[in-house]
Structure 1
Amino acid sequence: MMSAADSDSDGYVEYEEFERAVERPRMRRPRRGGVMEDVFRIMDGDGDGKLSREDIKGSMRSTGIDAGDEEVEAMFVLGGGEKEGGVTYEVFAKILGVDDFC
């Protein structure tokens, strides 16, 4: 998955590369189970189909982003985590603007 987005093969996905990877599927009808669903599955550390606060914080940390508890809580609440017991893939995709993947 990373190699698909890392167009210059430097081992990092820069913002422009990420943006291109996200924009490509919008040009054509994306298939179910695309790149963003793979990203969600990787973020979902316990595999329960929902992102917990711990899943979000761990994912941020693994990408080098030191998100504090307040930022993680804001992401969790924005994603409907309070109501659903975690952020679902469908909400995750809508937040990222790729809800046509659902």
Structure 2
Amino acid sequence: MASPRSNVTGLDEVFRSLDKDGDGKISAAELTLCMRAVGEELSLEDAEAFVALVDGDGDGLLGFEEFVKVVEVEGEEERERGLRAAFEMYESEGEGCITPRSLKRMLGRLGTSRGIHECAAMICRFDLDGDGVLSFEEFTSMMTMA
């Protein structure tokens, strides 16, 4: 697993590649050029709107710290989407939670046979509010422990 420092170092390299003029800031024009270089179209107006949205100090440019915050938010949103998709696979009954029955069904689909009591015991380990099911928050907590 990468250390937080190596992650920032990696982001530093990405930031420098976007900062075409080397002034330590990313302008909307630089962002547009970089997006075009990777085959994506981003109008200057859209780039300016994006920069304005995340520009914490109001200088019309993205500094490194602002860039890191944007990347971290994007990464967190991607992680949440992945967890949500996994949760929905197990939830499958439309109840908004993972029940012993829905867990048993999904484990069976994955080739792991478990009894309903075993599934209830598995849920019990991570059931923080004691209601016998896993909410999305409890599921997320369980997945971050894994």
TM range (shorter): 0.5 to 0.7
Matching residue's letter, 1:47:
G
Superposition TM-score, scaled by structure 2 size: 0.44
CA contact (8 A) 2:19 2:25 kept: yes
Matching residue's letter, 2:30:
D
CA contact (8 A) 2:16 2:22 kept: yes
Q: Partners in 2 of 1:81 and 1:54 — Cα distance?
A: 18
Once the two structures are TM-superposed, the CA of residue 81 in structure 1 deviates from its matched residue by 7.2
The 4+ residue runs of structure 1 with deviation greater than 4 A are none
Match of 1:30 in 2: 5
Match of 1:59 in 2: 34
Superposition TM-score, scaled by structure 1 size: 0.61
The answer to which structure has the higher helix fraction is: 2
Larger Rg belongs to: 2
Once the two structures are TM-superposed, the CA of residue 38 in structure 1 deviates from its matched residue by 0.3
Once the two structures are TM-superposed, the CA of residue 30 in structure 1 deviates from its matched residue by 2.3
CA 1:33–1:95 in structure 2 vs 1: closer, same or farther (change >3 Å)? Answer: closer
Q: Size of the alignment, in residue pairs?
A: 73
Q: Percent identity?
A: 32
Matching residue's letter, 2:32:
K
CA 1:76–1:29 in structure 2 vs 1: closer, same or farther (change >3 Å)? Answer: closer
Q: Partners in 2 of 1:39 and 1:85 — Cα distance?
A: 20
Once the two structures are TM-superposed, the CA of residue 95 in structure 1 deviates from its matched residue by 0.8
Q: Partners in 1 of 2:31 and 2:15 — Cα distance?
A: 10
Cα RMSD over matched residues? 2.3
CA contact (8 A) 2:20 2:30 kept: yes
Q: Write out aligned runs for 1:1-102 (5 A).
A: 25=2, 28-31=3-6, 34-80=9-55, 83-97=58-72
Matching residue's letter, 1:36:
L
| Structure 1 gap segments, 5+ residues each | 1-23
Once the two structures are TM-superposed, the CA of residue 79 in structure 1 deviates from its matched residue by 2.5
| Structure 2 gap segments, 5+ residues each | 74-146
CA contact (8 A) 1:80 1:86 kept: yes
